[in-house]
C-alpha cells in the first residue's frame, strides 16, 4: 500500500468537496493518505491528520524552549530524516538557525515514511522544498490560480528552489502550467492536467430550462475578493438598470471586500437590485442556482472555477470573463459565453443578448453545458486520474 502525504493549509472540512473527493478516492483505490495541515486540532476526520507545531509570537524564552523541545523529540523519532533536511538546508546557503527553524516547521512530517509528499498548493511547498527528498519520498505539487497568478507578483523567484526539487506537477488548467513554465518550471518535469470535477448526481437540471423569468435573476458565487472583479459586475448591473431591464443580482460569499462593494452598490443606486447573501451551505447554493436564470463569473483571474462548473451542471446560462482557466471551463457560444474582463458594457450587452434569444436556443446551450460536465468533468474520472498520478 502506497503512503501519500498531502500538505494543506488546513484539514479539509465537510463542505470542501474537492479535497474530500480526492482523499476518499485515493483511499478507495488502496492508498494510505495522511493529511499534514498548518494547524493542530483534536478533531476526528476520515483520514489520518497531523497539524504543524505552533509558532509562538510571545516571549523569546518560551519560543526557544518550544523550539528545542520539538527539535529534540523529532530528532529522537527520526534522526536520519532530520539530519538529511538540516544538511540540505545548509547546502542551500541557509544559516544554522534558519535550517533549524525549517526542521521545526516540518517536524510533524519528518517522522513519517511516505512514498509521495504532495503539496495541495504550490505556496505550501515554501520552506518545505527539501522535505520529500529528506524522508525518501517523491514530491508532487498542485498548481492553482493564486499560486501561479498572484503570489509570484509579490514574491519574485519564490519557486526557484521548488523547481529544483519537484518530481511531478498536477495542474487544474493548461493555462497555469504554461504560466509556470514562464516562471521557471522545467519542461522536463512531468505534469498531469486534472481539472476540478463534480458529482453530477448532486446537481439536477433546473425546471423550465431555457426560460427567463421577469425579473431576471442573476447569480455569482465566490469569495468577496478583488480578484473576483465584482466591480465590473456591479457596473454592468447599472447599465441594465439604465436600460430599464428588470433584474435581481444575488452574490453568495463572504470576504474582506464586503463594505467596499456595498458602497459601490449604493453609489450606483442598486440597493434594491443587488444583494449580498453571505456564506451559504452547499444545499442552499444549489437551491439558489435552481431559482436563477444566469450565472455570472467576472473574475480577473481564475485557475478554473468550480462554481461555474456547478452552475452549468444545473442548467444555468453562464457568462464568464476571458480570465485564464475560465476559457477552458466554458466553450464560447456552445456551453456558455465568454466576454472580456473589466468590460461592464460587454457583460451587460451579453445579458441583453441572452434575454432576446429564443427559448429553444437558450435550452440548447444549457443542455450542451450539462452534457459537457457529465462527459468531461466526472468525479469518477478525476479519481482514476489521481490514482494514476501517484501510481508512477
Domain boundaries, the chain: 3-52+108-197+379-391, 200-376
What stretches in the chain show pLDDT beneath 70? Answer: 13-17, 40-42, 56-59, 392
> Of 1.20.1260.10, 3.30.70.980, 3.40.50.2000, 1.10.3210.10, which CATH number belongs to 3-52+108-197+379-391?
3.40.50.2000
User: pLDDT, tens digit, for every residue of 273-292?
Assistant: 999 999 998 889 999 999 99
Q: How many CB atoms lie within 10 A of CB 186?
A: 10
The answer to whether the CB of 350 falls within 8 A of the CB of 296 is no
Alpha carbons 162 and 169: distance in angstroms, whole number: 11
**Cβ–Cβ under 8 Å, residues 233 and 261:** no
Bin 276: left if φ > 0, else alpha if -120 < ψ < 50, else beta.
beta
**Equal CATH topology for 3-52+108-197+379-391 and 200-376:** yes
pLDDT at 289: 96
Task: Please give the pLDDT value at position 56.
Answer: 62
Sheet holding 48-51, edge to edge: 48-51, 32-37, 3-7, 116-119, 138-143, 168-171, 190-193
Torsions phi, psi for 145 (to 5 deg): -55, -50
Q: With respect to CATH, is domain 200-376 assigned 3.40.50.2000?
A: yes
Amino acid at each position: 500500500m502506497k503512503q501519500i502525504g498531502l500538505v494543506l493549509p488546513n484539514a479539509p472540512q465537510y463542505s470542501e468537496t474537492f479535497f474530500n473527493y480526492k482523499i476518499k478516492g485515493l483511499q478507495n483505490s488502496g492508498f494510505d493518505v495522511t493529511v499534514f495541515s498548518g494547524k493542530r486540532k483534536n478533531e476526528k476526520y476520515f483520514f489520518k491528520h497531523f497539524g504543524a507545531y505552533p509558532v509562538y509570537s510571545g516571549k523569546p524564552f518560551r519560543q526557544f524552549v518550544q523550539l528545542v523541545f520539538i527539535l529534540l523529540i523529532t530528532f529522537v523519532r527520526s534522526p536520519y530524516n532530520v539530519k538529511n533536511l538540516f544538511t540540505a538546508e545548509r547546502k542551500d546557503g541557509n544559516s544554522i538557525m534558519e535550517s533549524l527553524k525549517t526542521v521545526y516547521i516540518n517536524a510533524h512530517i519528518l517522522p513519517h515514511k511516505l512514498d509521495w509528499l504532495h503539496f495541495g498548493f504550490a505556496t505550501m511547498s515554501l520552506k518545505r522544498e527539501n522535505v520529500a527528498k529528506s524522508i525518501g519520498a517523491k514530491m508532487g505539487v498542485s498548481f492553482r490560480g493564486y499560486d501561479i497568478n498572484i503570489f509570484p507578483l509579490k514574491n519574485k523567484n519564490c519557486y526557484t528552489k521548488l523547481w529544483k526539487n519537484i518530481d511531478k506537477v498536477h495542474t487544474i488548467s493548461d493555462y497555469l502550467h504554461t504560466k509556470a513554465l514562464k516562471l521557471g518550471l522545467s519542461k522536463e518535469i512531468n505534469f498531469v492536467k486534472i481539472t476540478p470535477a463534480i458529482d453530477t448526481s448532486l446537481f439536477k437540471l433546473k425546471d423550465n430550462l431555457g426560460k427567463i423569468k421577469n425579473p431576471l435573476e442573476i447569480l455569482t458565487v465566490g469569495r468577496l475578493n478583488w480578484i473576483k472583479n465584482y466591480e465590473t459586475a456591479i457596473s454592468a448591473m447599472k447599465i441594465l438598470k439604465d436600460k430599464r431591464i428588470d433584474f435581481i443580482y444575488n452574490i453568495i460569499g463572504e470576504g474582506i471586500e464586503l463594505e467596499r462593494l456595498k458602497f459601490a452598490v449604493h453609489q450606483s443606486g442598486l440597493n434594491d437590485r443587488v444583494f449580498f447573501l453571505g456564506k451559504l451551505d452547499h444545499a442552499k447554493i444549489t437551491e439558489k442556482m435552481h431559482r436563477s436564470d444566469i450565472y455570472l463569473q467576472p473574475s480577473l483571474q481564475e485557475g478554473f472555477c468550480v462554481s461555474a462548473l456547478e452552475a452549468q451542471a444545473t442548467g444555468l446560462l453562464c457568462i464568464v470573463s476571458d480570465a485564464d482557466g475560465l476559457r477552458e471551463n466554458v466553450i464560447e457560444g456552445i456551453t456558455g459565453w465568454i466576454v472580456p474582463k473589466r468590460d461592464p458594457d460587454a457583460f451587460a450587452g451579453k445579458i441583453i443578448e441572452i434575454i432576446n434569444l429564443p427559448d429553444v436556443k437558450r435550452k440548447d446551450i444549457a443542455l450542451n453545458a450539462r452534457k459537457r460536465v457529465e462527459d468531461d468533468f466526472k468525479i469518477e474520472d478525476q479519481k482514476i486520474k489521481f490514482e494514476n498520478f501517484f501510481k508512477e
